[in-house]
Structure 1
Amino acid sequence: MAQRYGGRHSPDQSDTAPAPSPRGGYRGARRTRVGGRVNMLFLAPLPLAFRAFFGGPVEMALNLVALGILLLAAWLTREGLRAEEAYDARRIARRPAIPRKIFGAALTGTGLAVVAHAAGGGVAEPAIYAVAGAALHLLAFGPDPLRDKSAEGIDSFQSDRVARVVDRAEDYLRAMTQAIAATRDRDIEARLERFQVTVRDMLRT
């Protein structure tokens, strides 16, 4: 039976073993929902800025107000989707303190009602646009999470404590990212990225 001998000058098997690949920040990442549809919410009301200057002063004011309302609705929707993604990524999480997507839907309906009123609509047309706009917004993006999420066998008090710790840890990670980014040291940034992946894996389990 053949037997392998090793010595000082023999190749070491550990030297030829492939090193484990470092875990990058994209490991286990999901495709974000904050994309094209949300960007369209920012682009769609921009023609109101041009339309405002081709009418009387009242129509101009109404169009500019509608533009501001719709842009605010788009921003709230984007932030609501980001908060929902963070909520879905954790096993234990608190519901968002502010239902941003619901507020975004309400503001979308309000903005469309102002646009309809600026175009000379009476009472019925702005109301129809308001209801339709808010309903379509909720159908497209859904409502915000309205319940806290907890693991089985853990009471609400302990779940709330865990959720607060997770939120605080995320704040620390963001602060570390900003501090390291100022150094512009790629080696330190890579180490921080691997550290953040490990920490987030721990937070999600």
Structure 2
Amino acid sequence: MIARRHPFDGRRRLRGSSRARMMLLPAALFFLTGFFGDAAHLLTFWAAGLLIIASSWLTREGLRAGLAYDTRTIARRPALPRKLMAAGATGLGLAVGTVQQGPVLALLMGVAGAALHVASFGVDPLRDKGEGLDASRVARAVDEAESYLNEITTRIEALGDPALSGRVAGFVATARGLFRRVEDDPRDLPGARRYLGVYLMGARDATVAFADLSAQRADGDARRDYVALLSDLETDFANRTSVLLQNDRADLDLEISVLRDRLTREERGRA
């Protein structure tokens, strides 16, 4: 039984990523404008362009971190407030780029640029999702598991094999189905800890070895073995998710049975 694909799994397009890339246009203008002046003029405008480029990169990273946070039931806030840092870099870049027009205009442009960035892209999550010790443990375990999945995906995509990348995406979706299951009920963490840690670490190591070999030469046998490993792992993860769901059903049936027995005894006592 294959776990139900989570609606946020796969290659969902980041909202705002195209706008973040459009920030490279003013950076290019700053670079070009820098050539029309002396050395100080060049350095000033190139510094402004570099700050805008840094802001664009931080914005995209902040959007990715925000999407990962939004799609999880239990999550820790991003360690770095990337979007806020990007807003600051945007404001500073605009201020540096207009400082030759006067400090007042530079200050106004900097404040306006930072404010517009916040209005356009928002701010980073500022608090953890979920409460209590169990939620913290689940968040750490899922963060570790996600890091393994991200490394697996990155190494395989670098090979430029669309069919293999799609196969890995299917395994990643199934694995994340188990993650979501554990997040929904932290009591399931002990039964899934091996899958979130040991098994995915092994999958990551196997992926690194396969990717290194494939970068040197094509090996059909190694590719088949790797795909077979993914299939086995996908089945294991799907089965574990199914077991956890069945355990919940058994717990519910037990609670209903106990409740019925209690009601029956109360009815007899009143009679």
Whether the 8 Å contact between 1:108 and 1:133 is mirrored in structure 2 is: yes
User: 1:39 — aligned with what?
Assistant: 21
CA shift, 1:198, in A, is: 1.3
Whether the 8 Å contact between 1:109 and 1:129 is mirrored in structure 2 is: yes
Whether the 8 Å contact between 1:76 and 1:104 is mirrored in structure 2 is: yes
The counterpart of 2:78, out of the listed 96, 100, 122, is: 96
2:148 counterpart of 1:172? yes
Whether the 8 Å contact between 1:22 and 1:194 is mirrored in structure 2 is: no
User: 2:211 — aligned with what?
Assistant: none
2:166 counterpart of 1:194? no
Letter of the structure 1 residue corresponding to residue 48 of structure 2: A
User: 1:77 — aligned with what?
Assistant: 59
CA shift, 1:190, in A, is: 4.4
User: 1:59 — aligned with what?
Assistant: 41
After superposition, what is the alpha-carbon deviation per residue over 1:13-63, rounded to whole angstroms, capped at 9, x for unaligned? xxxxxxx99978987665421432111012222011111111122111100
After superposition, what is the alpha-carbon deviation per residue over 1:64-93, rounded to whole angstroms, capped at 9, x for unaligned? 110111111111111000100000010000
2:30 counterpart of 1:48? yes
> How high is the TM-score relative to the length of structure 2?
0.59
Matches of 1:165 and 1:141, distance apart in 2? 29
User: 1:105 — aligned with what?
Assistant: 87
Matches of 1:167 and 1:85, distance apart in 2? 14
The counterpart of 2:96, out of the listed 98, 103, 114, is: 114
> How high is the TM-score relative to the length of structure 1?
0.77
How many residue pairs end up in the alignment?
180
Q: Which moved more, 1:120-129 or 1:64-73?
A: 120-129
Gaps of 5+ in 2: 182-271
Superposed CA RMSD in Å reads 2.8
Q: Which moved more, 1:88-97 or 1:50-59?
A: 50-59
CA shift, 1:178, in A, is: 4.2
Larger helix fraction of residues: 2
Whether the 8 Å contact between 2:2 and 2:174 is mirrored in structure 1 is: no
Whether the 8 Å contact between 1:24 and 1:193 is mirrored in structure 2 is: no
Matches of 2:157 and 2:137, distance apart in 1? 30
Letter of the structure 1 residue corresponding to residue 18 of structure 2: G
